[in-house]
Structure 1
Amino acid sequence: MSLTIPVSENDHIVGDPNTAKIVLVEYGDYECPHCGNAFPIVKKFVDENRKDVAFVFRNFPLKDAHPNAMAAAATAEASAKQGKFWEMHDQIFQSHAGLNVETLEQLVEAVGLDNEIFKEDVKSEELLNKIDEDFEGGVRSGVNGTPSFFVNGEKWEGYDGTEESLSSLLSNQ
């Protein structure tokens, strides 16, 4: 399966997708235990390979299985409006095991967001549409669980929960 929505300026990106050997797109759910386990592995891989890897995170909240996933996605997206998407993304994943509304409220404070602006942004139709667009794009691309990865536009089933599986991407490029 191929990525139906190409990486664009509407995405949250670490690295330069125009020069990277690998553009890694993750469809993830902040409350998913598998995504939580993948988070430090993916982060380390991306941090250690910044010249060769661009990383994109897209929301795929599995609302039926994870009751706080949508609120977490909305919190991350509202943080993006204040230029703090990646900081919040990391904080949420570091707190994913005990994720709830109170935790998200604490993270808003910890990340240093303007709370009044945040309260407006987190409810905005624009923000909720962005999450829905990420989700729908994932469905159209064949995402049926999280985390799901795409490498250079193609669905990648090679992630097995280890650093080695990600490292193998670079050796195959």
Structure 2
Amino acid sequence: MKRFLSRILTATAIALVTLTGCFSESTQADNNLTYVNGTHYTTLSTPLPTRVAQDKVEVVELFWYGCPHCYHLEPIINKYLAQKPANVEFVRVPATLSPRWTFHAKLYYVGQLLDPQGTKGVHGKIFDALQKQNRRIDNDEALKRFFVSLGYTNEQIDGVLKSMELDSLMRFATDYSAKSGADSVPNLIVNGKYMTGPGMVGGENVIATLNYLTKKESK
């Protein structure tokens, strides 16, 4: 009986953890399954600039490769991408809340520049390497070895590492992370105005919440 209760408590604890997020320094948000500003989503005090046409709605995922909650959200994000409204433009932005997170942002953008169309699934492979295989990719040499293992040449990787595009993307990620005011991930920001995520609504409600906020911005 004690063993059974222990298993129940452990399962409950795991379930609660998967609904929260990776924090820098904060407490987790209250869960509420109603569309209420301040509970189901928050309105940013200072809207973030978007980079989409006026008739489009931007949805940004703020994430970190080292975050298991971001990894668990990936299947939901992929489901959302397969059915998102036509006027939504989805953008991933790696959070830069610490030096380690910043290096992982670099890892993301190197992968994006090497696989701009996503045909090789580099983003998912990076997540798997860090979350499933427990690989440490926290310096340039480890980064190069990883991308070589995916079939890229040292010349291709060095070209990206030295590129102005990488510098520009890293500056954007740093600026966006700071201006968002987020102290945890994953977070989803709709049209630079509203922030939500599984820590607020639970993973199973993320898509419905994004669709609700998109409709607000489509009027």
- Asked whether the two chains share a fold, i.e. TM above 0.5, the reply is yes
Q: Are residues 1:79 and 2:88 paired? A: no
Q: Are residues 1:91 and 2:132 paired? A: no
Letter in 1 for 2:183: N
Q: CA, structure 1 residues 99+39, in 2 after alignment: closer, same or farther (shift >3 Å)?
A: farther
Using the TM superposition, give the Cα deviation of residue 129 of structure 1 relative to its aligned residue in structure 2, in angstroms.
Answer: 4.4
- Does the 8 A contact of 2:64 with 2:70 survive in 1? yes
For structure 2, which runs of at least 5 residues remain unmatched after alignment? 1-43
Deviations 1:46-101 (A, max 9, x none): 1233635421111213335xx3x333322321233334474322221233322412
Q: What SS is found at the alignment partner of 2:194?
A: strand
Q: What SS is found at the alignment partner of 2:185?
A: coil
1:125-140 equivalences in 2 (<5 Å): 126-140=165-179
Q: CA, structure 1 residues 35+134, in 2 after alignment: closer, same or farther (shift >3 Å)?
A: same
Deviations 1:23-63 (A, max 9, x none): 31111111122211222211211123363542111121333
Using the TM superposition, give the Cα deviation of residue 119 of structure 1 relative to its aligned residue in structure 2, in angstroms.
Answer: 2.6
Which one is further off, 98-107 or 140-149?
98-107
Aligned to 2:158: 119
Q: What is the percentage of aligned positions where both structures have the same residue? A: 23
> 2-side partners of 1:50 and 1:112: how far apart?
34
> 1-side partners of 2:73 and 2:158: how far apart?
29
Q: Are residues 1:7 and 2:51 paired? A: yes
> 1-side partners of 2:83 and 2:205: how far apart?
13
For structure 1, which runs of at least 5 residues remain unmatched after alignment? 9-16
1:23-172 equivalences in 2 (<5 Å): 23-49=58-84, 51=86, 53-63=88-98, 67=100, 69-84=101-116, 86=118, 87-97=121-131, 98-101=134-137, 104-105=143-144, 107-124=146-163, 126-157=165-196, 159=198, 160-171=201-212
TM-score (ref. length: structure 2): 0.59
Largest Rg, 1 or 2:
2
Which one is further off, 126-135 or 53-62?
126-135
Task: Provide the aligned C-alpha RMSD in A.
Answer: 3.0
Letter in 2 for 1:47: A
Using the TM superposition, give the Cα deviation of residue 126 of structure 1 relative to its aligned residue in structure 2, in angstroms.
Answer: 4.8
> 2-side partners of 1:126 and 1:168: how far apart?
33
Q: What SS is found at the alignment partner of 2:114?
A: coil
> 2-side partners of 1:41 and 1:129: how far apart?
29
